[in-house]
Amino acid sequence: MAEEKYNMKNPAVKRILQEVKEMQSNPSDDFISLPLEENIFEWQFAIRGPGDSEFEGGIYHGRIQLPSEYPFKPPSFMLLTPNGRFEVQTKICLSISNHHPEHWQPSWSVRTALVALIAFMPTNPSGALGSLDYTKEERLALAIKSREAAPRFGTPERQKLIDEIHEYMLSKAPPVPQVSTSQPSEDQTTKGEDEVRDNATNAGADDGIVEEELQDRASADRIVEEPHEVPPNANSVQTSQPQPYIHSSEQQQQQLLHKPAMRVPRQADDRLFTWAAVGLTIAIVVLLLKKFMKAHGHSAFFTDES
């Protein structure tokens, strides 16, 4: 249709149609741009916010106006999606735009310009024309909002193309990071409570592990696997099966338990033995005395006087 409507001998038309074909045959996940069917010099585009920045995950629509002398003169750019870096529906000042024709190179293309625009997003605006200097939090909030719906701009034909581009970019865009606020959300609070409970559970488990290790160490101090030593008077057959070695304190307790109890003499028995010893002593003394008297001629002392 464009071949029939436009003069194919025009260098600008030939170049634009060539870029359209290249854009369709080699699509990118970071951007997309297509001309209007009724005017190939006007393009609608959308870029994805650069990663590791406050624009990450955002979808930013814009409009490109190519001059009739394209590619020998630079195009103009306009953002349609609020982004916090460039004003919307205002021609922005970049080295690749018509604000600086002295920097433009005819070898550059719409693809080159879109790649450069993505790179310009996180840079310092430095007061350039059409630039804004929002905070990172504000830009991140705008990035989230940019995914909700495509911007409204121009005729129904323009809007139809903008909506199609938006759906394509949504299918390629990763999830956008959430805005960090000073007050935790309900999900964050719940997550925090779950983490506290998990930490408490883990702490309890760790205490149990420590207690179990202490018990194991105490058991290791008391019981050591060594070969069983058979007493000399034992009748059992010695085997090679290792038996537990008992700690000395417990061994002494077991020896005391198995030691036969000593018989304690009663008090009556003590008195009986005492009197027996006294009587035996007296008898011995009498015998010795009698023998002594007899030996010295006093034996009549022990005879009857009658």
High-pLDDT (> 90) share of the chain, %: 46
- Kindly report the pTM of this predicted structure: 0.58
Preceding omega of 175 cis (within 30 degrees of 0): no
Q: For residue 225, what pLDDT is reported?
A: 39
How many C-beta atoms surround the C-beta of residue 44 within 10 A? 26
> Does position 51 have pLDDT exceeding 70, yes or no?
yes
pLDDT in tens, 18-38: 999 999 999 999 999 999 999
Q: For residue 231, what pLDDT is reported?
A: 44
Q: Which region among 71-75, 111-115, 229-233, 275-279 has the lowest average model confidence (pLDDT)?
A: 229-233
Catalytic residue among 17, 20, 36, 93: 93
Note if 93 is an active site residue. yes
Q: Which region among 102-111, 190-199, 240-249, 258-267 has the lowest average model confidence (pLDDT)?
A: 240-249
pLDDT band for position 292 (50/70/90)? confident
Task: Measure the CA–CA gap between 80 and 165, rounded to whole angstroms.
Answer: 13
pLDDT in tens, 131-166: 999 999 999 999 999 999 999 999 999 999 999 999
> Does position 195 have pLDDT exceeding 60, yes or no?
no
CA angle 49, 52, 58 (to 5 degrees): 25
* Mean pLDDT in residue range 160-179: 85
Task: Measure the CA–CA gap between 171 and 161, rounded to whole angstroms.
Answer: 16
pLDDT in tens, 244-256: 444 445 555 555 4
Task: Measure the CA–CA gap between 172 and 30, rounded to whole angstroms.
Answer: 8
Collapsed DSSP state (helix, strand, coil) of residue 225:
strand
* Mean pLDDT in residue range 6-13: 89
